Copies of this chain bind each other. A is one copy, B any other.
């Protein structure tokens, strides 16, 4: 008769390991959601769009499970120093991951509303921004699973480039709308998609900041490197920059 392992009391190390693997799983799902959402736009892939949106409830459920386990660890194990900071960081990071999943699902849903008119609107800027945000998200999730403050620092520094992509895209899309009113509905969706991508990058940076604090006990500077105000840096990305400064927040 097989031994029933379900009642074996887990060790503190096992529970901490379980928390880490739940974080890794949650990170993996939202990373996948973002990849699906971007392919939904780039390849006009409706299945990908549906798949991205369908994973939302699982992410929400994982956030609740992490919170429950964190509370259990805090109540029964009185973790100290680095472990305590890691558990507190996990509580905050799940909030960022849950938002990232929301934004990915939103991008996926919006991708279904895009009606491209041949040659009218270029998505190359959006694709490049998407790749950069995906890189930052991957690095921030690696930083969580490996508790790697250097990785976290890398993400923190490249948030500026995401903002600059967004600034250029914003101007480009507004120009398309002004040029031809038939572009307005699609460009409005694309504006929100670009904004959602910028928010995903922002949450990846939040995660990086939290990992850095959890690992080192030090805060990164309150003012993170910000792009978007640096209009000159965006001209090569978009030839259609206007004088308007969009708000990158």
Contact = CB atoms under 8 A, between A and B. Distances in A.
A195 interface: yes
Contacts of A71: 84-85, 88
Report the copy number of this chain in the oligomer: 2
A191 to B, nearest CB: 7
Chain A interface bracket (under 10, 10 to 19, 20 to 34, 35 or more): 35 or more
Contacts of A70: 88
Nearest to A203: B99
Interface string A106-137: 10011001000000000000000000000000
A219 B65 CA distance: 12
Contacts of A64: 219
Interface stretch (A1-9, A14-22, A174-182): A174-182
A64 B209 CA distance: 12
Interface in A67-104: 67, 70-71, 74-75, 78, 80-81, 84-85, 88, 91-92, 95-96, 102-103
